[in-house]
Amino acid sequence: MPANGHYFRWLVIAASMVWSGCSLRTPLQTEFIGGLRRLEYRNPDPQAQGIIIGVPHGKSRPVATDYAITVSDRLSAGLIHAYVFSSHGIAVSQPVTHVLSLPARADTLNRRGSIYPEFKALPRKMADGGSSLYPGIRMATEQSEIGRIKIATTVLKYGKIESIPGKSGDGVVVGAPHGTFDVYTSEMVRQICARTGLAGVIATGFTPRETGSGWRINVNRPSERYYPSGDYEIETSRAAKVYESYKSAVTNAARGPLHFYIDVHQNSGERIEVATVGVSKEEARFIKNTYRALRDRALAGHPEIAVVDLAIEPLDIIEVGAWATKATGILQVAKKSLHFELPGDGIMASSQHRRVYTPIISDLISRAVKRITAD
């Protein structure tokens, strides 16, 4: 961590000292999940009222563990520390539906790719049915260039909604409402926010795997759809609850009126399609021409990278118009909105393509924000 990270560390310790906690805490208990990989935990004391501190990447982020132990001790709060999982490429705090390129000898745990069900169940067990507050602590690396605190704001029954604060309250938010189902979109939005300084909201989970019924909760609108064969959506109370949580996270991240919202998705098409709300033909033409210029510059001398075109409303006719989200969802909340559908074959299919196209999309969004919010 840089110097300001050490300052923050002492700030956390100093702030937590204003609370009176027990000087003697019970030792950590251990739960093994596959070989040497383990969860260490300690139940909250009664006066902590169900507060549990979590460190999903304990071994690879030891400073985060130090913070968590200090805060847990001072608040008499519970503590969960995941050890070794992330260093083996096993997700802890979010579900995984796809595990690619595993060796034939990979064990069952590696093939699952995640211990999210076990990690999610533990706070409920520790707090007799459910924790009243779960702060998860992670530390950015020096190379990440994030420069700000990221906060996971809401953990619901079927998934998690995470907020990334922006560097300024400009009323612009980038979202990945299908962060697990639309593979790689959650990571792309994280990188977009890190590169641009824009606020972000990422939802992970809410897939047929989490619901256990074959239905995906749509998150960015109050409905759900049956997969893989469903051709219609239904509005349900649980979908409405998730949507209200997502909408609240987006409006809070905007830190004021939501002027401009950008939704990032993935599909099986061959081109980028951008559905819009409140965007003029002149603004759409600016976005399309800017994208092509950025793409051509980035792909010069790289014939191995696919040349992906972009179609945008109201200039072009597109296949995925995000009509339901425009009618009842998050796209109607902002004054102006963009809904990106990124093709799985041209941009998202390989890490090499994602490394090239993520800066292009980030720069495009940054320039679109400057142009559209200046009007």
Q: What is the CATH number of the domain that holds 194?
A: 3.40.630.100
Is the residue at 137 inside a domain?
no
Of 126, 161, 193, the one marking the end of a domain is 126
Q: pLDDT value at position 250?
A: 97
Of 96-100, 162-166, 340-344, give the lowest mean pLDDT range.
96-100
Letter string b/e over residues 249-284, b meaning 16 or more CB atoms within 10 A of that residue's CB? bbbebbbeebbbbbbbbbeebebbbbbbbebeeebb
What average pLDDT does this structure show over 101-121?
63
Does residue 345 share a domain with residue 256?
Answer: yes
Same domain, 227 and 180: yes
Residue 208 has pLDDT above 60, yes or no: yes
Whether residues 106 and 156 fall in one domain = no
Question: Which of 109, 126, 143 finishes a domain?
Answer: 126
Q: Do residues 137 and 222 lie in contact, with contact meaning Cβ atoms separated by under 8 Å?
A: no
Q: Of 39-53, 129-143, 158-172, 271-285, which has the strongest mean pLDDT?
A: 271-285
Domain shared by 163 and 302, yes or no:
yes
Quick check: is 140 in a domain?
no
- Does the pLDDT at position 219 exceed 50? yes
End position of a domain, from candidates 64, 91, 126? 126
Q: Considering the domain boundaries, does residue 141 fall inside one?
A: no
Checking if the pLDDT of 321 tops 70, the result is yes
Say if 138 falls within a structural domain: no
Q: Does position 61 have pLDDT exceeding 90, yes or no?
A: no
pLDDT, greater one: 130 or 297:
297
Higher-pLDDT residue of 220 and 229 is 220
- Do residues 109 and 257 share a domain? no
* Residue 343: strand, helix, or coil: strand
Place of tokens 């597109």: 318
Most confident among 23-32, 48-57, 83-92, 149-158 (mean pLDDT)? 48-57
* Domain annotation covers residue 146: no
Q: 132 in a domain, yes or no?
A: no
CA 177, 181, 186: angle at the middle one, nearest 5?
Answer: 50
Question: For residue 60, what is the DSSP state?
Answer: T
- As a whole number, the mean pLDDT across the chain is 82
- Joined tokens for residue 13: 């310790």
Nearest Cα to Cα of residue 92 among 136, 42, 140: 136
The residues with which 234 forms a beta bridge, in sequence order, are: 224
What range defines the domain where residue 75 resides?
Answer: 3-126
Q: What mean pLDDT comes out for the span 9-17?
A: 43
Domain shared by 157 and 99, yes or no: no
Question: Rounded to whole angstroms, how far apart are CA atoms 373 and 158?
Answer: 35
Is the entire prediction scored with pTM above 0.85? Answer: no
State the average pLDDT over residues 344-354.
Answer: 88
The one-letter amino acid at 164? I
- In sequence order, what E strands does 20-86 have? 29-32, 38-42, 52-55, 78-83
Q: Which runs of consecutive H residues, i.e. helices, occur in 216-257?
A: 237-254
Residues 171 and 257 in one domain: yes
Shared domain check, 173 and 114: no
Per-residue pLDDT band at 136 (split at 50, 70, 90):
low
* 335 and 259 within one domain: yes
Q: Give backbone dihedrals phi and psi of 93, rounded to 5 degrees, phi first.
A: -100, 10
Residues 91 and 106 sit within 8 Å (Cβ to Cβ): no
Residue 370 CA to residue 367 CA, distance in Å, equals 5
Residues 120, 158: one domain?
A: no
Q: Are residues 162 and 233 in the same domain?
A: yes
Q: How many residues are given for the chain?
A: 375
Listed ranges 24-28, 102-106, 167-171, 248-252; the one with the highest mean pLDDT:
248-252
Integer Rg of the chain from CA: 22
Residue 134 belongs to a domain: no
Residue 139, pLDDT > 60, answer no
In this structure, the answer to whether residues 119 and 156 fall within a common structural domain is no
Count of domains for the chain: 2
The Cα–Cα gap between 63 and 142 comes to 13
In a domain, 131, yes or no: no
d(CA 339, CA 274): 5
